[in-house]
Structure 1
């Protein structure tokens, strides 16, 4: 089931990223001409698109929308922006903040009597409780959402979505019959809504669920429907999941040859997309299949492969399965000593896995205890507050008299101060609008520049390689010369390898995976290696006591370093760059030094380019201070950035 749910998430992500640039460009073209309340909707749409690949920009647009909603005193606009911010927090795993904001959205929707918005808020809260593994609360909100959607005409798609969510929760609780019932209902509504995507994913979920219910023939039927759906929509990455499900069903029906055929197709598909986790999983299924059909030598070979990859993936459950297959097949081949050794290793791994699960259960029990204790404390505080309220009511009459006297005194002061405050507010508001416009312009122009560069990379690099590959494929169709066909085949493989390299380079430029997976320090080290490999300039990087910052701070610092290095490479005539990051108790200090030509700081700060404005936007986002030391016509420059980290540590904040 986890694989099918992952499939759903990845398909959604692919769909967004594939078509998002056109949508983003369209929104940016109209946002400057819209009224402020219309801008709220557009800014929140931008935040939704950016949340999957640039979370700091997503927060920036959502907060900008919230500020406009507050200024306009629009509860509808505020609720839209709270919803957008909650989605961002959910995307980075900060579920408590997401839940708090979704609850605020719910309260506003109730006050506005917005039934459709209320249904969406209930569903979102259910999703967060689901992620927190609080299934009773999750189901409670899902059912409230379902009842609301069912009461509104034309909500077949949303009804299907909530029914599917309920089915997922029941499956997590091992209530497979209930889960199947809600999946089937979801499928019916997706068909009414005409959603091919919803039908496809739900068919896949049902196919997987039917394996748990041991209804293998039906499982094959649903999985084949999902397989054909993914093919029709062009989602080749997700076809192997369905192929593997069909293989499991055939294996369970003792049709081992048929199962083997589907396993091999699934394995080939996952290899095409370099999905190491699923490659390991299907390899284990194949090993078990070969052992079941008496081909123990081949089963051993596959189990060894799976064990090796599961160790590199640090997947203990896969290691356990691979070790068991090694033991079973060695025993079957008469290798008793080796089989016993693997069986002993299997028992050890099982104990380790058991201890991990036991520790997790202990932590869950402790969390539940602390939650109940906190709830009791809140109830006690509520009782105390009620008693204090009664006491306050008795003193209200006396306080009212005193307040009236104070009000008469204050009114004269307020009238005198009002004009001054209004003047200050007008000046501050004008400055705020100018700053917001400048930041918006910088972000839009930067994204437009990045889009053009990305398009050029695709056209100049990928376009030529794909065109060459098409020529090879066409030539293969028209020639019968075996030697020439072999040459064309090898050339095509080389072109595919070049295309893969080009894609990896473009992906690195958009968002380095090292930054996402391993953090800021590893990403800077990787950037330094790439620059040094080019040989144009020598870069040194050192760090000391650097804290683990939240994702927004890490991305901002990385982009700031990229921008400064880019400026040095373009204009500085430098041979050496030294980057240093040092962490202190309450701050992080970043320094960048080079031996290039000096420059006039005022020209940089007052220039019309986007570089300095982008840097300033990033600095403002994380409340950092930048000091540049450079003298025109003299060698050597230094940049010192001081970043307060009290609100940016990843495990202490809600950012």
Structure 2
């Protein structure tokens, strides 16, 4: 079982604890769910056989955990006794799993941990791989709830590995593990790693067409980018999450993300945008019932936005509505700092020093209480440490008394202690030298990596300089003669001595020269960056290249492709095109080939580029040991794609093959 959620308790005006997304639906979907539960209740209460009743109890108890906890607990106790009659089989443990989730959701994390561990051991023993995977995910979520983030990451990784190793698994089976890994890294404030997992989960959910999952991944990405301080990205993903949540009918997420987005706009000082989104979050005309915590957050954010815009009346109205929520739900007091601060500002601006001071004191009191709760665990640890040190002192005193009475034992003790310290010192010295040698080895490896990178940079710079010199030469040689001719024709056209019939001929010649200059400019621009590649993609650019080579009559170039149904990432396309261009130039220049074939395919996550020609073969070591820029440029572009390059050719044998292959996931290469 896997629960997608995000939480940030230190941000009371925008980021919530989203405990579960399984039943966050509304309207018609919620009505259908209730009807289904009523039908299952009838099945459970009927005279059907025990296995059918237990199957109904699985769905019922899971639904009630998030909607009717009292009924969930009662039904779990009954149905587990019923299931145990048939022995502790797979069906029993699947129901038992719901009891663990019940404890986890209700903050009884130690009890839930023991249950999930028991299910994990049973599933391993019986080779129930799917149940084992769900148990690992549940243990990961349990660890998150107990703030044991490293353990959570280990459990989620194990679940992901187990699912991917199963030949029958699909992306939909492990996407929740990816999303949960993102959440764990998010809690550790490793936002770049969290974003990587959320993006991968988002891509899978897009391929699945899972709008609800896409909304959750987008919302998590919005939170990560907000906490990183990248507000533009956060806004884009929040808006994307809103669209997906609306399509999925997930009104809870729809309203919650509007509140988060409004809070973000408040922080950026874009108060009118904040008010627009917060009003949508507060609007229940779609039939959604806002929970008190969310309503308090929305009202607090609206009050703060209107204060910033000097709309004192509207600010006071929203603040008073927030007070009513707080009066009805006093346990939410720790989520009210923004509300208290806004009320203090309102009354101070109205000249009511008494009320302003009252709410300012309440604001400071709430902040102190939050600080106290956040440090309660730390204080508890300090108390335990004090008790331990106290007991150690007592033991030391007793040991001193025994030492005075037993001088011989004392000498023996020190002798053994000295020997132990000597052995420890020897082990420490050995470990020190081992670590130093290991560190030196790592430094040597890094030094080699740096040298390789420097070589690639040098090759790139040399290539750029060579390209600049070539462009300068082309422009000088190509356009110089055209400009000289144009000057001659223009001077003759200006001359009054030139006959009219000659002027007409000169105009025609001038037009011809301009046409040639236009073609020359097109060729130079194409060499820099083909417009076809940027506008229409790699396949169209390769076809254009083939047409140009065929027109030159140097060779015939054919293109074949498989699995390239849409455009690749722009940088991937550019690097592939430049690799083709670089290698084909070599083929035309040195091999004497008449037929060239480019074969490009995308299958099972791998892009493969093969270039065949019928020219003269050669020793591949000539290229592998070459200091020329062409081969180094080709290898540099392949390294950017993390691609493998193979060259198949032999001297005195017609034909050469260049192969480039790499794993491709959109947005990662």
TM-score (norm 1): 0.49
Larger Rg: 2
The alignment's TM-score, normalised by the length of structure 2, stands at 0.48
